[in-house]
A and B are shown apart, each in its own frame.
Chain A
Amino acid sequence: MKSPSRPDRPRPLSPHLQIYSWQLTAVLSILHRATGVALCAGAVLLVWWLAAAASGPQAFATTQNFIGSWFGQALLLGWTFSLFFHLCNGVRHLVWDAGWGFRIATVYASGWTVVGASIVLTTLAWILGYAVRAGGA
């Protein structure tokens, strides 16, 4: 006699990530969480940076040297994009919480707006940042 909990063939599973067709909505949802987690790591750098500034010029120079290295700059670029994306998409979420923007066309329009805005803001921040640096601070 068959056990009712053991069917003779596996039951169908819902499609998982590698088979599910990607959509902007799902990608942005995952990216919101991923950038949020990344920003938590960025918050640790902020604490280190503040603690170094409080400790004095020598400790601060060590931190600034790390941030200025290629590795530090790569991290900072990732965190800049993460911040602007999480910020823009967070505003999108707040608008949804208020009950607006749920029509499919609107959801896609707001999604692409978030993508565009975070890329533009990241680029702008880095152009301005390097201009400030070159300006001799």
Chain B
Amino acid sequence: MKAGQHRGMRSSLARVRGLGSAKEGVVHWWAQRVTAIALVPLSVWLAGNFVALAGAKHEAVVAWIASPVGTVLMLLSIAAIFHHAQLGLQVVIEDYVHGEGLKLAALLAVKGLAILLATIAGLAVLSISLGA
């Protein structure tokens, strides 16, 4: 290795990003399982309520979301859905998008969009629940 290639103890971002130990280990895999387990009862709850609300009017839907159980479980569902979704899409992108720049752009877009959509949905639930 040539002298002067390293600046102190730090390696460059380009060298380190996505390579080697990021002290992450099984965090991605584990988070995908934890959100999956959470989504088993939550998605059954969601599906059951969507069926019960088929063709329902605005006030019926609002009353369901505004109920304490509706608000809490809907907020938890939103968090679990979007966390699980962006973890899954990340793997799909890493499998199929090979250009480094495009891959990074797609990953950032997916993660940013997940946060944006989850925030919009969370705000909608809260504003219904708090009667704003």
Contact = CB atoms under 8 A, between A and B. Distances in A.
Nearest to A49: B61
A101 interface: no
Contacts of B47: 80, 83-84, 125
A60 B58 contact: yes
Given A83-B43, A94-B33, A54 B54 contact: no
A137 B53 contact: yes
Interface in B37-93: 37, 39-40, 43-44, 47, 50-62, 65, 74, 81-82, 85, 88-89, 92
A61 interface: yes
Contacts of B88: 33, 36-37, 40
Interface in B95-110: none
Contacts, number: 90
Given A54-B127, A137-B57, A91 B40 contact: yes
Contacts of A39: 85
B115 to A, nearest CB: 12
A51 interface: yes
A56 B47 CA distance: 23
Given A33-B92, A37-B92, A39-B85, A53 B65 contact: yes
A53 B49 CA distance: 15
Contacts of B55: 64, 68, 132-133, 137
Contacts of B54: 128-130, 132-133, 137
B58 A56 contact: yes
Contacts of A119: none
Contacts of A44: 117
Interface in B12-26: none
A133 B56 CA distance: 8
What 10 A-B pairs have minimum CB-CB distances, sorted nearest first?
A54-B124, A129-B54, A133-B55, A50-B124, A57-B58, A47-B121, A60-B58, A132-B54, A51-B124, A129-B51
Interface of B: 33, 36-37, 39-40, 43-44, 47, 50-62, 65, 74, 81-82, 85, 88-89, 92, 117, 120-121, 123-125, 127-128
24 contacts: A37-B89, A39-B85, A43-B82, A46-B81, A47-B117, A50-B74, A53-B58, A53-B65, A53-B124, A53-B128, A54-B124, A57-B58, A68-B55, A87-B40, A90-B39, A97-B33, A130-B54, A132-B52, A132-B53, A132-B54, A132-B55, A133-B54, A137-B55, A137-B60
